[in-house]
Structure 1
Amino acid sequence: MDQGSSSWFLYFFLCTLLTSQLDGMYGEGTQKAPNNREIEKRILDKVMNTKVYDNKIRPVGAGGEGATVVNVNLFVRSIARIDDVKMEYSVQLTFREQWLDDRLRFDNFKPTPPKDLAYLTLTDSAKVWMPDLFFSNERQGHLHNIITPNVYIRIFPNGEVLYSIRISLTLSCPMILKLFPLDKQVCTLRMASYGWTTEDVIFKWKSNDPVQVTKDLHLPRFALEQFTTDYCDSVTNTGTYSCLRVDLLFKRQFSYYLLQIYIPGCMLVIVSWVSFWLDAGAVPARVSLGVTTLLTMATQTSGINQKLPPVSYTKALDVWTGVCLTFVFGALLEFALVNYASRNDQHRSAVIKQRKQWEAEQAAAMETAKAAANSRTPNSNKPIMALARNSTVGFDSTSGDDPACPLHFGILSTASCTKTWLSRFPSRSKRIDVIARIVFPLLFAFFNVAYWCAYVLRKEDPESLIQ
């Protein structure tokens, strides 16, 4: 190899070496720094290392000993229905619980995590220890998985764990329906530990605003008046278990029942009184009116009871429908009494007519006898006149009473005036109708005053409604 070729080879070798060195120097400086997701993955892999963390063992309490404290809070998203027959209600809520697990702490890791990493996020709750909370009065329930499972877990640098999930529940709600439909009901949501006793796990309400309710909550037949939180630890033969409770106080909306039950009931009772103004001889009209209103009232009562559970006590609605049914039935019985009195009046009129005819015949006979006696003996008419007076005295006593109202020491007698006023209606059937026109409305008005005063003004203690 000549000297020129050797020089070119040496020059090429030196350029290649220099280029590789420069690439190494600048290449290291241009590598991208790891982003937060990569850092989060590294931290999760480290804290979730099965050699260090076991999700089957509960975390220790504060100070390294004692029970694990779990703080709970709820957000009520909606209440779908409140069923009076099944005595249950359906609710959708966001359930959150938070506790401290020192084994998941990562603020002391090296290198120190960036300050903008506020928490780690998980979607698989099986990777961490979870409290064994359950809803003790639940009948049905399901999780929400559209579009993805509505659940997340946040792990904070100090080891705190926040678990949040959206669930729908159907819960039992025992009701006391004595004041239905003027009642209030308390529906309870109970949460308790299934296996851990208070020596291991304690549930507590979040200190600030533990229960939140959406402002768009609208129920068709109820209004949520208030809600309270409380504790309900249960003691069994296996230990004492921590328990939380939310009491939701609902007031029933009365306007629906006023329009569907009370006003129609009043109208049916008033319609049954129309028969009091019909003639006693209008038998088909009065019977049809009475039977129709009675059947309508009975059908309405039956339809109402089908929407309510069979209970052993009397409800406020039972009192109303029972009294209305009694008034309608009473109007029908009143017609039966009027019809009976009318037939008696007709029989009595026939008897009086025959009696007057007999009296006329007797008077004519006496006049004939008197004329014959006068033609024989002028002075022998005294016994005959006495006989005539004796025979007519009984009929003179049937004359009507003085229609004027008598005065007793200058005071008008109410009873006498009432009797005088009733004398304007000679038949008993007519008098019964007139009395019914006054008595039935007065009694119904008195019942309404007593009913609404007894039930509307009655105050319920919410504590007495909690089952």
Structure 2
Amino acid sequence: NVILNLYQEGYDNNLRPEFGGPPTTIEVNMQVRSMGPISELDMSYSMDSYFRQTWIDRRLSFTGFQGALALSNEMLQKIWKPDTFVYNGIKAYVHTITKPNRFVRLFADGRVLYSQRLTISATCLMDLKDFPMDKQMCPLQLGSFGYGIEDIKYEWSKENGVNIAADMKLSQFDLISTLTGNSTTKLNDGLHSTLLVHFHLHRHMGDFVIQVYGPCILLVVISWVSFWLNREATSDRISLGITTVLTMTFLGLEARKDLPKVPYPTALDYFVFISFLYIFFTVIQFGIVHHFTKYGSGEIYSDEFDLVENTAFMQELTTLEENNSAHQNKHLENILSVPDTKGNFKQEQPRRKIRKNCDYKRCHLQVNPLNSVSKIDRISRGMFPISYCLMNIFYWKIYLEM
């Protein structure tokens, strides 16, 4: 205390060292202990670090003592300190448990080491066009708030300006590299010396494969089951198509809920939209198949017979229902008439045994029970999977090579 009191006689902590002379050089060193969360929604990131600043204040030099003096927090208020702040910072605070986490070391030549533990939240403007296979550059810009370039000059420490703790791991990203540099920034109508550090981040996409990409692919494959259902199974194919469409819609909305409403589509949006189109076209494909379904492949309506007043045909159907003899079946085959596409009747040659099942409005005529398969279904069984596989190869080749 005697030494410190002696050297602080006439000391003015409102004036920087070498006031009126060359600018004071501030050397900065950072050790990043942890990083995260990194929020796409807020375009921000947080990190916990040890932030160290070193400068020379010859007014505090002393003799007669080897080593460094550790100053208390009370003495910290009595010496001059640079007003360093984070240009792109949102908020920052010094840890205070159990005491404020900061200290000052004073060396004999007047060198001051000021270290503090800071948690910093800063903005990080992200380009999400390649999300979730994107790489981001999150900056941190440091400088003086009040002193211009003629008063304070910032430099990164020559040993290691920014170092990362060996045990640091990020949940969402891999930290690829840390790039440091110096710059001059205009602030308050003056030029200020600033320091820059860019954290180069590469996103993990394992979570998106499990929650989005995998389910999307499975939904598309499930929608193709309808190609193997016969075209008379109208309710089954429609139900399957509507279910997969609704599930895909929900999955696409869920994937976007944690992203900002950016004005451009992301890589994930492209994949979800293309998968949705495949499911949608599966439903449209069945509509086309159903439209081109022909007579004899499933159903004939009794109203169609009333239009041509085929009384003999209806009488024979009634007789067949009462008596199922082989002779009457053969007689029915001989007189059975079926309307052709022009509304005329033609005699069917007795080839196979005909079975009848009638309800209130509809008569099902089956000749050796038939499940018809559309040519469109046969083509779709190969065309849809092949085109979807080619799309996936093209998609992953583009984005994974970026």
Q: Could you tell me which residue of structure 2 aligns to residue 128 of structure 1?
A: 79
Amino acid at match of 2:401: L
Q: Could you tell me which residue of structure 2 aligns to residue 168 of structure 1?
A: 119
Deviations 1:229-266 (A, max 9, x none): 01131024622101111100110002111111111111
Compute the RMSD of aligned alpha carbons: 2.3
Please point out which of 110, 114, 117 is paired with 1:159. 110
For the pair shown, the structure with the greater C-alpha radius of gyration is 1
Amino acid at match of 1:56: N
Q: Would you say 1:436 and 2:380 are equivalent positions? A: yes
Q: Could you tell me which residue of structure 2 aligns to residue 253 of structure 1?
A: 204
Q: Could you tell me which residue of structure 2 aligns to residue 106 of structure 1?
A: 62
- What TM-score do you get using the length of structure 1 for normalisation? 0.70
Deviations 1:90-140 (A, max 9, x none): 111111000000100002xxxx33x3x433423232111011110111112
Amino acid at match of 2:7: V
Q: CA deviation at 1:80?
A: 2.7
Q: Number of paired residues?
A: 343
Amino acid at match of 1:317: L
Amino acid at match of 2:6: K
Q: Would you say 1:293 and 2:249 are equivalent positions? A: no
Residues 25, 55 of structure 2: 8 Å contact kept: yes
Amino acid at match of 1:43: I
Q: Could you tell me which residue of structure 1 aligns to residue 234 of structure 2?
A: 283
Q: Tell me which protein shows more strand as a share of its residues.
A: 2
Q: Would you say 1:46 and 2:35 are equivalent positions? A: no
Q: CA deviation at 1:340?
A: 1.1
Q: Could you tell me which residue of structure 2 aligns to residue 203 of structure 1?
A: 154
Q: Map of 1:3-402 to 2, 5 A cutoff?
A: 41-49=1-9, 52-60=10-18, 65-107=21-63, 112-113=64-65, 115=66, 117-124=67-74, 125-236=76-187, 238-342=189-293, 350-351=339-340, 357=346
Question: Counterparts of 1:345 and 1:246 in 2: how far apart (Å)?
Answer: 76
Give the 3-state SS of the residue equivalent to 1:176 in structure 2: coil
Please point out which of 392, 398, 401 is paired with 1:454. 398
Question: Counterparts of 1:359 and 1:276 in 2: how far apart (Å)?
Answer: 31
Residues 192, 242 of structure 1: 8 Å contact kept: yes
Question: Counterparts of 1:446 and 1:291 in 2: how far apart (Å)?
Answer: 25
Question: Counterparts of 1:303 and 1:256 in 2: how far apart (Å)?
Answer: 14
Q: 337-346 or 208-217: which moved more?
A: 337-346
Residues 140, 196 of structure 2: 8 Å contact kept: yes
Q: CA deviation at 1:359?
A: 9.2
Give the 3-state SS of the residue equivalent to 1:317 in structure 2: helix
Give the 3-state SS of the residue equivalent to 1:55 in structure 2: coil
Q: Tell me which protein shows more helix as a share of its residues.
A: 1
Amino acid at match of 1:128: I
Q: Runs (4+) of structure 1 moved beyond 6 Å?
A: 426-429
Deviations 1:409-436 (A, max 9, x none): xxxxxxxxxxxxxxxxx99961011011
Residues 68, 108 of structure 2: 8 Å contact kept: yes
Question: Counterparts of 1:345 and 1:444 in 2: how far apart (Å)?
Answer: 34
Question: Counterparts of 1:201 and 1:163 in 2: how far apart (Å)?
Answer: 16
Deviations 1:252-286 (A, max 9, x none): 00211111111111100000000000011111111
Residues 339, 429 of structure 1: 8 Å contact kept: no
Amino acid at match of 2:199: L
Question: Counterparts of 1:83 and 1:268 in 2: how far apart (Å)?
Answer: 29
Give the 3-state SS of the residue equivalent to 2:169 in structure 1: coil
Question: Counterparts of 2:70 and 2:188 in 1: how far apart (Å)?
Answer: 40
Residues 221, 256 of structure 1: 8 Å contact kept: no
Give the 3-state SS of the residue equivalent to 2:77 in structure 1: helix
Amino acid at match of 2:276: L
Question: Counterparts of 1:344 and 1:450 in 2: how far apart (Å)?
Answer: 42
Question: Counterparts of 2:124 and 2:372 in 1: how far apart (Å)?
Answer: 57
Question: Counterparts of 1:213 and 1:223 in 2: how far apart (Å)?
Answer: 12
Amino acid at match of 1:226: S
Residues 59, 103 of structure 1: 8 Å contact kept: yes
- What TM-score do you get using the length of structure 2 for normalisation? 0.81
Gaps of 5+ in 1: 1-40, 361-425, 459-467
